[in-house]
Structure 1
Amino acid sequence: GLQETGNTGKKINLTMLGDDTDIAKQQAEFLQSQLEKLSGVKITLNNVPFKTRLTRSEKGDFDLVVSAWNADFPDPINFLSLFTSDNSYNRGKWSDAKYDELVNKSLSDDANDPAARWQDMKAAQDVLNEQQGVIPLYQNGQAFMTHKRITKLDYGPNNMYNMANLRIK
């Protein structure tokens, strides 16, 4: 970003807000080392209790913040809608009119046209990725073992069982 703006000699100091758990601290230290090594930006860590991080995030009291979101249902809109300009969870206040238009269109105009809705969500994702409104770090995963006689047992994104189509051979 500094090269694009012509400020290559400018020093930048940022504070990264995160939780105070051992894992969160390790994650923050890793991010700090990578950002400082790759960009030359000075990162100061500010690991605080969870509720303090939430309060400061809601107020926009941060330069960088590490937070998490778990999907409630298996649809990309679960994440895409978070970063529309008027969403209260858009704590960084990133805003892009084209992104908002695409997300809103996928929720209204294209609601009954799955192919068009999917294309709008993909286009919105491309805008978000290009603009770097948020930087995904990782996605949690979990493995489940079931007996070979059990089929069609569905695990939702929040690890809730859905047994509507469950079959036992």
Structure 2
Amino acid sequence: GSIAAAAFVPHDFVSNADTGNDFADDAGDFLTYDPEKAKTLFDAAKEELNMDKIEIDLIADDDETSKVVSQYIQGELQNNFDGLKINLVNIPKNNRIEKGQSGDFDIILGGWGAILPDAINLLDILNSETTFNNGPYKNEKVDQLLNDAETVNANDPNARWQNMLDAQKIMLEEYGLIPLYHTAEAHLRNPKLKDVEIHSVSGRYDYRRAYVAE
């Protein structure tokens, strides 16, 4: 049930308090599947680097999901790009985090979850002063937009909304990171169970008003 990412902030995560618009709808799509364009760019990169073969390590966690995802990425990249070899390095999560924070990687596969239904909880990881900006990606305009969203425009919802839209646009156009997919979960639930509240962040399931219909 997971959904391919067209941007960083997912759909059905946060809405504009004034317009009701979903952030993802206002932002639009940035990422598209275009293997032919990717091949052209890869060939141009090899020519610029004067290299026929490129070998890259992909670091990921060693849990089953991360292994499957990293294997899929490896296959897609190697099958589409002539001369590219991807070495998989699946390690415990704590070791992966350490390598990310030290910058000791070529490509690293990770995930991020917000603790509040606020786009800034996602976008702020590409603020150059943020601990989890492992790239490290740095763009002064993005830093300014994110800082404005958290300070000078904190009480101006529309200006803050635009700050975050603009920040995401820049970081994705510059490939500060590459969102792959937004995770989803599948559950079997008795249809007699009513009024369970499901939240995208924090406590996922709220059963305070839940009941079983006769």
Q: TM-score, normalised by structure 2?
A: 0.68
The residue correspondences of 1:57-68 to structure 2 (distance < 5 A) are: 57-68=100-111
Aligned to 1:26: 68
Aligned to 1:150: 195
> Within 2, Cα distance between the matches of 1:5 and 1:121?
35
The count of corresponding residues between Structure 1 and Structure 2 is 167
Q: CA, structure 1 residues 161+4, in 2 after alignment: closer, same or farther (shift >3 Å)?
A: same
Query: Displacement, 1:159?
Result: 4.4
Q: CA, structure 1 residues 124+149, in 2 after alignment: closer, same or farther (shift >3 Å)?
A: same
Superposition CA RMSD, Å: 2.7
Q: Does the residue aligned with 1:16 lie in a helix, a strand or coil? A: strand
Contact 1:154 1:163 in 2 (8 A): no
Contact 1:70 1:158 in 2 (8 A): no
Contact 2:124 2:130 in 1 (8 A): yes
Q: CA, structure 1 residues 148+47, in 2 after alignment: closer, same or farther (shift >3 Å)?
A: closer
- 1:16 aligned onto 2:58: yes
Please say which of residues 123-132 and 44-53 is displaced more in the overlay.
Answer: 44-53
Query: Displacement, 1:25?
Result: 1.3
Query: Displacement, 1:163?
Result: 7.8
> Within 1, Cα distance between the matches of 2:193 and 2:91?
45
In structure 2, runs of 5+ residues without a counterpart are 1-40
Q: CA, structure 1 residues 116+24, in 2 after alignment: closer, same or farther (shift >3 Å)?
A: same
Contact 2:193 2:210 in 1 (8 A): no
Aligned to 2:79: 37
Aligned to 1:7: 48
Query: Displacement, 1:141?
Result: 2.1
Query: Displacement, 1:143?
Result: 5.9
Query: Displacement, 1:160?
Result: 3.0
Structure number with greater CO (CA < 8 Å, separation at least 6) is 2
Contact 1:84 1:90 in 2 (8 A): yes
Query: Displacement, 1:142?
Result: 3.5
Aligned to 2:163: 120
> Within 1, Cα distance between the matches of 2:49 and 2:98?
34
Q: TM-score, normalised by structure 1?
A: 0.84
Q: Does the residue aligned with 1:135 lie in a helix, a strand or coil? A: coil
Q: CA, structure 1 residues 48+150, in 2 after alignment: closer, same or farther (shift >3 Å)?
A: closer
> Within 1, Cα distance between the matches of 2:91 and 2:68?
13
Query: Displacement, 1:75?
Result: 0.6
Deviations 1:46-105 (A, max 9, x none): 111122112211211111000111111101000111111111100111111111111111
> Within 2, Cα distance between the matches of 1:154 and 1:50?
27
